[in-house]
Chains A and B, each alone.
Chain A
Amino acid sequence: MFAKKTILLALTLVLFAAASVIAAVPRPSNQLRLAVDRIIEVLRDKNLSRDQALQEVSNQVRSKFDFWAMSQRTLGINWKKATKEEQQQFVRLFAKLLEDTYRGRIKVYTYNDEHVEYIGERVRGSRAEVHTIVVANKEIPVSYKMRLKGEEWLVYDVIIEEVSLISNYRNSYGEIVRDEGFGGLLARMEAKIKELAENEEQGGSEESVPAPQGGNAP
């Protein structure tokens, strides 16, 4: 009798374990949609101050983007060559730079009927691709590459109009590492972040003509 009970118990346990695993793995599109919808909602909300809106968007992005994986992918072979400290520093700087991209965009953002259509997803194991179209004054195809970490699908690449954000960084950062070494890359990132912070303090830099930069001169 006792043995029977034990077997029954074991079976039930296994059953529940299996059921809860199936229930627990969510769809990548659903998770992404939550974050994206929330961001759009925040941007529409006229009651929020700009700083509040930026903070909220920033929270959403931080919870949905895997900066660690993005950094690895950006550096490729150079990631493996770098020391642990260099890796951490890179992730920190890279996240900051990426954050500035959307901060800058949001500041000049005026909401006009933009919405996002989800046209499909493809899941393979712990990787997924979600395809969307951002409909503004034109239609922009935007795809997200996502990875499953625990129960969260996290974005590790964004592909806008066939152009992968990470591939872009990979090529130009790779070239900088080749010419100036890993230390050189980190130094340039630091300098860029500092420059962006100074611009932000001055404020309203969006409307003024950026000062000519020596870096691009022939």
Chain B
Amino acid sequence: MRAFIIILLFLLLGGLNSALAQDAVQADSAVIKQEAVPSVTAESEKTLVADDFTAEDVYYGEGDDEDFTDGAMESFDINDPIEPFNRSMFWVNDKLYFYLFKPIARGYRVVPEPARKSVSNFFSNLGTPVRFVNSVLQFKLADASTELGRLVVNSTAGVGGLFDPAKKYLAWRKKDEDLGQTFGTYGVGNGFYIVWPLLGPSSARDTVGLAGDFFLDPLRYVKMKPLERYALKGLEKETKLSLNKDTYEGIKRQALDPYLYVRTTYAQHRKGKIKK
């Protein structure tokens, strides 16, 4: 009987210990830092040494039986019959980005971020008609009424759209909708991939959508000189660029073929948005 009690105590302590360890791991990140990392490293070091493999890079874990090749994984590719044209447009846009738009955006960053954020909010508020109409066309009536509510609140309490109290205090969030997405929910496919100068990546479907949405832009119905119109468009674009944290630079640095990378990103991004 005594032996039994001793074993029981032993097990109890063991169990308690592992439970405590669990809590400790969850409470204190230092523990995971000290314990988890070396264990992974040690494991891989073993395989690496065994395989006589550059032993400094020991961080990628080791293979196991579980299969991750997942042949059935969704593919997001998009038809690209005019790839030579697209690649040259991509190249043009790339040069415009690095030698024209980006330097301007960098200079623009002198303006404090909250101010630029307000400019961006202002343009976003002007995009309400596009989002509203397309929400209705997709029978997303709740989203449509949110858009109307946001327009009213942000145009008044938000000082003509400079601020976004609708999100801050009422949690009414903007949801990007456009005609391309509307076509998508109706079951229209991408068509083919096309890169426009200045406008960037698009598809046959989304280009038609873009043209349609153009008529819903309130600025279009304000009387002004063409040059002023371009300046406003430029301001909108530069504001967005100045707030962006150099996403494109990251892609350029690290993607093997930035053109392909951007193309799949576009296809995936649009597909995700249509599903939402």
Which of A's residues lie within 8 Å of B, judged by CB?
5, 8-9, 12-13, 16, 19-20, 23-24, 26, 30-31, 34-35, 37-38, 41, 58-60, 62-63, 66-73, 75-77, 79-80, 87-88, 91-92, 94-97, 100-101, 104-105, 108, 112, 126, 136-138, 147, 149, 152, 154, 156, 161-164, 167-168, 170-173, 175-176, 185, 188-189, 192, 196, 199, 206, 209-210, 212, 215-218
User: Does B66 make an interface contact (CB < 8 A)?
Assistant: yes
Residues of chain B with a CB closer than 8 A to A30's CB: 26
Where chain B touches its partner, the secondary structure class is: helix
User: Beyond A76-B71, A101-B254, is A137–B22 a contact (Cβ under 8 Å)?
Assistant: no
Residues of chain A with a CB closer than 8 A to B99's CB: 209
Cβ–Cβ contact B87 & A63, under 8 A: no
Residues of chain A with a CB closer than 8 A to B117's CB: 137
User: Does B219 make an interface contact (CB < 8 A)?
Assistant: no
Residues of chain B with a CB closer than 8 A to A75's CB: 69
Residues of chain A with a CB closer than 8 A to B261's CB: 168, 172
Cβ–Cβ contact B37 & A59, under 8 A: yes
CA distance A80 to B71 in the complex (A): 10
CA distance A112 to B114 in the complex (A): 12
Residues of chain B with a CB closer than 8 A to A192's CB: 254, 256
Cβ–Cβ contact B265 & A163, under 8 A: yes
Residues of chain B with a CB closer than 8 A to A206's CB: 246, 249
Shortest Cβ distance from residue A98 to the other chain B in the assembled complex, whole angstroms: 8
User: Beyond A104-B253, A162-B272, is A92–B77 a contact (Cβ under 8 Å)?
Assistant: no
User: Does B224 make an interface contact (CB < 8 A)?
Assistant: no
Cβ–Cβ contact A63 & B57, under 8 A: no
Cβ–Cβ contact A68 & B61, under 8 A: yes
List 19 extra interface pairs beyond A9-B7, A19-B15, A136-B245, CB under 8 A.
A12-B8, A16-B11, A23-B19, A35-B29, A59-B33, A62-B59, A62-B60, A70-B68, A91-B60, A92-B54, A94-B60, A101-B253, A104-B254, A105-B250, A108-B246, A163-B268, A172-B256, A173-B256, A188-B256
B88 is contacted by which of A12, A87, A218 (Cβ under 8 Å)?
A218
Shortest Cβ distance from residue A7 to the other chain B in the assembled complex, whole angstroms: 11
Cβ–Cβ contact A13 & B53, under 8 A: no
Q: Which of B90-98, B129-137, B146-154, B203-211 contacts A (4 or more CB under 8 A)?
A: B90-98
Residues of chain A with a CB closer than 8 A to B84's CB: 218
User: Beyond A13-B11, A209-B98, is A95–B273 a contact (Cβ under 8 Å)?
Assistant: no
User: Does B228 make an interface contact (CB < 8 A)?
Assistant: no
Shortest Cβ distance from residue A52 to the other chain B in the assembled complex, whole angstroms: 13
Cβ–Cβ contact B51 & A88, under 8 A: yes
Q: Tell me the nearest residue of chain B to A149, going by C-beta.
A: B64
User: Does B25 make an interface contact (CB < 8 A)?
Assistant: yes
Cβ–Cβ contact A26 & B26, under 8 A: yes
Question: What are 26 A-B pairs with beta-carbon distances under 8 A?
Answer: A9-B7, A16-B12, A34-B25, A34-B26, A37-B29, A38-B32, A68-B60, A68-B64, A69-B61, A72-B67, A72-B69, A88-B53, A104-B253, A108-B246, A136-B245, A138-B243, A162-B273, A163-B265, A163-B268, A163-B272, A167-B74, A168-B265, A171-B264, A210-B98, A218-B84, A218-B87
Q: Please indicate which of the listed interface residues A63, A136, A173, A175 has the most CB atoms of chain B within 10 Å of its own CB.
A: A63
